[in-house]
Structure 1
């Protein structure tokens, strides 16, 4: 429902969050999204795959609609090593940063011979649906409200309900968009009044630190209040919905606080190898810092049969490390090479390393 008023919400509140729907195959994501499209009068449609689209095609998809969602599906194709083969480039989520505030996602020059450019504003809402969670920068993760689906609660009864949703004709449910539009003034008034209240309550929650996370989920909480103007929710349903949104805010904060999965994988392999007789820390001050030669790390990991990300991916994400804060890349007077010097001739003890400040509480 919020997507139907994305323009009006951004006009007063300056932003509108992205919705991420993630879950294992068969969890019901496509059934849900296709039914939501029916509420908006569109049949037999889910979304488009940005990984298969050119930059121009993506820009046109974003510019086609106003106050409707733009759904991005199955764009999680980035993979590294393993039995799936080499790295495969996926969609760059940073392209979406400006859409959060309703600004253009792409600019192009005009064929006028002058300096004119065309930058159509983004007037819709973003929905992301895929099997794996978005792996992106903090800036993107903070713009997302996240829902996870699985198959744990599926029964023959829920399957029957899903089939009924799939079989409902558009004509029987598309009145939702009309009812919402007719109550636009009331909905926007509710949002204006309730969003600041919910935002203050979320900011008072000790588990939520990010003001953007608090604002995004406060908008959802206010929308859950306004939804009662369109859909007859019971008090129990409304309370459960609000409880779920607060839990989503806490989970989003936790996701922001944690390292990128590739960084987590790197530190797990580093700890295993470094403590297992294959020293990897070249620093002369091992209690205070960690100096890692990525080439040395990958060589040792392969010799010990460890699956590790490619060096290109490590260089891309290690700068964001939170477990041990990234400091610099520089030549280090290697303690490891100094030990080898006693056994055989070593021409130089200088090694180019990625240097991190050791977090002693997590070492």
Structure 2
């Protein structure tokens, strides 16, 4: 059920009755209801955001629930609610819809002008209210509005298939042009019926794109004296059309056509519902229309001068801004001189027509109109970042219908004529402001009178404060998809918000399909599915860190050609990001990496090729190192870097990490137990490849555009609540199952792999994953957990290789005692220690064709050696050749 005054009233009645809430602020809010979660009198709703109830105990409860969840019966379809009435009245549903949703008095509308019908499509059906369309007196078509859950259909209304209403208007059956002096032309039928409630006769053009010329000619033929009023909606396109229709009506032969517009984001039916459809409202709408159709800057200035009665003001005409100044002394002198010329002694001897003519002449000689900008300036809203307290005004500079630019202006740029001039020139080519600061102040005061405050975030993705996902072109909150309004921000209930970070490469589609999934499994296999489950879980990283204080890292290594890069690029495509893999932390600056980590929330940050021991790495990068221990704080969502803020105090910028981390490189991460236990590790090889079968599937995946698969993102986010509930319901059992695996003792491994298991199970509700595949993937996650536990108690593969070579040489000393010295690489004089000079060791390995990883990598790893624990690095007198050598010393077990 859509928003309506009747529904609002019903919600308030139910809320106050059930929870004991009381009105405050003249009915602006209903507070002190008993919270169903914590039992305190802290449950409330805003009248402006009536579809969500909250507990204001933000630190202790934070209960939040939609009204649809609280009172589902209020949101049942009209057909269901009025099922009983339909037994005796075939129009009961349509009548209820027009009465409750549209605010119509059915006696005024006349119930004989519509019928109730049914429409069905794509497995959904709805009752409709249908209005016949006539042409030359014949009812040969119709228009009908869907009543029940119109969001289930491609559109909310339809015409008879094949029917063309071009040039025609809907006319109320009792309309007789000969009996009216005036007829209004609206866009929709409901607008025409709304005006009927205050005695205005109106016809409906059915669309601003349809000038009803045929119907208007018939009306003109019946009554040549009838005067038309164009009453379209108020968006800029409709205003432009209204001006065009005004000219067309004159060409058709109508006398004195006028325009009436609300100048609000509301039509005539909205005004009826809000109680604004009054004589005063109509008078204001006609004045708005007169300003719209003024023929010159002077004509518009005169209308404004009479209306606002000010001596100085700015106004806009034909995409230019003017400054008006009026001199009362000159006006009176000119008016009195003109009266004398009429030779009439008393003012009341002058006729109204003569007085108007005299005032026009006096006005023309007593005002000055100066162009102060060759463009118009609209201050759309005020935007502020609560975290940094940075603020801007978002301004639309416009030189024509086709040429405009929206830009953020600093407060100081709106407070000085000279700075404003410079900013205008930078914002739009050819635009300039030549006015003074006091004139700018007048513009600012008027344009910001009812300005809206917009909150901004400096990243894209999940905003914890508002429990919503904010992207550049879409937002998702409470399972509902939102698009930006015409002024470039999202309206989420009582929250207005936008992101100031523009990730131009991320443009997800909102149409979901799973046609790609079978090929995905062929190409990437079970390991690819595990990576997808992690990627899927990353879309809820903030919420999961809130619940479990952590979200794991994913590490993917693999042999060349296994498809590692292709996998990551495809996973990015699923969330709408094209032609992207990740960032190399060894080539990025520290500030650059910190900014990358701060750009997204509930999205992965992929660190690629970050190992520094690759012999093929360019020389200039070999000296630069990156330790994965640096990212440990990100596991818990802590700040990646603390920066000083330019200010007069000790403030710092320590924005938390809001995303997830994926590491993709050639070599396995080596590091402390602390970093390894945070990683879910997957080695990607070619074992899942199936020859031409896999190649064909890979080619099909590569041909898919991002638009073909990125509906996955919004399908997942729309089911946020169900997914999080499922993860919470399954996590404890999954963690316990991990901890019961053989020899598994590390609690953090239970946490990370248990979360991954729960994400896999939740993913099964989104994608067509069979029970067999699910079982295989679950078993593989258990294997990953056991392997990770083993990693924590064993050496890195490179270090294992090092000790294998050492033990090989030790075996040679036993077998070849006569030449043993050439294989004796342990220089320690102590029986229980090993002392190795690395340069000598590597030379001996090369001479004997023994493979070792790069010496720089080994130097980083020796201190973490498990097979032979590291003691220290020092100079010792060799027990082999009696020389003093620099050695790494280890303890024999």
TM-score, with normalisation over the residues of structure 2?
0.36
Cα deviation per residue 1:104-131 (whole Å; 9 max; x = unaligned)? 1111122224322211111011112223
- The aligned residue for residue 868 of structure 2 is 324
Q: State the SS of the aligned residue for 1:61.
A: helix
Q: Is the 8 A contact 1:259 1:321 kept in 2?
A: yes
CA distance in structure 1 between the partners assigned to 2:705 and 2:625 by the alignment = 35
Structure 1 segment 27-176 matched on structure 2, within 5 A: 27-79=562-614, 89-152=624-687, 153-176=689-712
Q: Does 1:219 align with 2:755?
A: yes
Q: State the SS of the aligned residue for 1:50.
A: coil
Q: Is the 8 A contact 2:670 2:861 kept in 1?
A: no
CA distance in structure 2 between the partners assigned to 1:147 and 1:309 by the alignment = 21
Q: Structure 1 pair 162/293, CA: closer, same or farther in 2 (3 Å)?
A: closer
Q: Does 1:357 align with 2:891?
A: yes
* CA positional deviation for 1:87: 5.6
* CA positional deviation for 1:270: 2.7
CA distance in structure 2 between the partners assigned to 1:76 and 1:154 by the alignment = 30
CA distance in structure 1 between the partners assigned to 2:701 and 2:728 by the alignment = 33
Q: Structure 1 pair 42/309, CA: closer, same or farther in 2 (3 Å)?
A: closer
Q: Structure 1 pair 312/156, CA: closer, same or farther in 2 (3 Å)?
A: closer
- Which residue among 256, 266, 272 is the counterpart of 2:802? 266
Q: State the SS of the aligned residue for 2:664.
A: strand
- The aligned residue for residue 733 of structure 2 is 197
- The aligned residue for residue 302 of structure 1 is 843
* CA positional deviation for 1:235: 1.3
* CA positional deviation for 1:74: 2.1
Q: How many residues align?
A: 344
Q: Structure 1 pair 33/334, CA: closer, same or farther in 2 (3 Å)?
A: closer
* CA positional deviation for 1:79: 3.3
Q: State the SS of the aligned residue for 2:777.
A: helix
* CA positional deviation for 1:314: 4.5
- The aligned residue for residue 558 of structure 2 is 23
Deviation larger for 230-239 or 259-268: 259-268
Q: Is the 8 A contact 2:643 2:652 kept in 1?
A: yes
CA distance in structure 1 between the partners assigned to 2:613 and 2:723 by the alignment = 40
Q: State the SS of the aligned residue for 1:66.
A: strand
CA distance in structure 2 between the partners assigned to 1:61 and 1:301 by the alignment = 39
- The aligned residue for residue 834 of structure 2 is 291
- The aligned residue for residue 281 of structure 1 is 826
* CA positional deviation for 1:311: 6.8
Cα deviation per residue 1:219-262 (whole Å; 9 max; x = unaligned)? 01111111122223221121112112111112222233321344
CA distance in structure 1 between the partners assigned to 2:567 and 2:590 by the alignment = 28
CA distance in structure 2 between the partners assigned to 1:248 and 1:313 by the alignment = 25
* CA positional deviation for 1:176: 1.3
Cα deviation per residue 1:52-74 (whole Å; 9 max; x = unaligned)? 21111111110001111111222
CA distance in structure 1 between the partners assigned to 2:698 and 2:853 by the alignment = 39
* CA positional deviation for 1:210: 1.8
- Which residue among 709, 713, 720 is the counterpart of 1:184? 720
Q: State the SS of the aligned residue for 1:356.
A: strand
CA distance in structure 1 between the partners assigned to 2:855 and 2:662 by the alignment = 32
Cα root mean square deviation, aligned: 2.9
User: What runs of 5+ residues in structure 1 fail to find an aligned partner?
Assistant: 341-345
Q: State the SS of the aligned residue for 2:761.
A: helix
CA distance in structure 2 between the partners assigned to 1:80 and 1:30 by the alignment = 21
- The aligned residue for residue 343 of structure 1 is none
- The aligned residue for residue 235 of structure 1 is 771
- The aligned residue for residue 76 of structure 2 is none
Q: Is the 8 A contact 2:834 2:892 kept in 1?
A: no
* CA positional deviation for 1:197: 0.9
* CA positional deviation for 1:334: 5.8
Q: Is the 8 A contact 2:555 2:664 kept in 1?
A: yes
* CA positional deviation for 1:285: 4.4
Q: Structure 1 pair 251/239, CA: closer, same or farther in 2 (3 Å)?
A: same
Q: Is the 8 A contact 1:282 1:290 kept in 2?
A: no
- The aligned residue for residue 788 of structure 2 is 252
Cα deviation per residue 1:136-189 (whole Å; 9 max; x = unaligned)? 332222111122222242411111111111222222322211121121111111
Q: Is the 8 A contact 1:291 1:332 kept in 2?
A: no
Larger radius of gyration: 2
User: What runs of 5+ residues in structure 2 fail to find an aligned partner?
Assistant: 1-535, 814-819
Cα deviation per residue 1:187-206 (whole Å; 9 max; x = unaligned)? 11111121111111111111
Q: Structure 1 or 2: larger strand share? A: 2
Deviation larger for 190-199 or 89-98: 89-98
- Relative CO higher for 1 or 2, CA cutoff 8 Å, sep ≥ 6? 1
CA distance in structure 2 between the partners assigned to 1:235 and 1:137 by the alignment = 37
CA distance in structure 2 between the partners assigned to 1:213 and 1:198 by the alignment = 11
* CA positional deviation for 1:76: 2.5
Q: Structure 1 or 2: larger helix share? A: 1
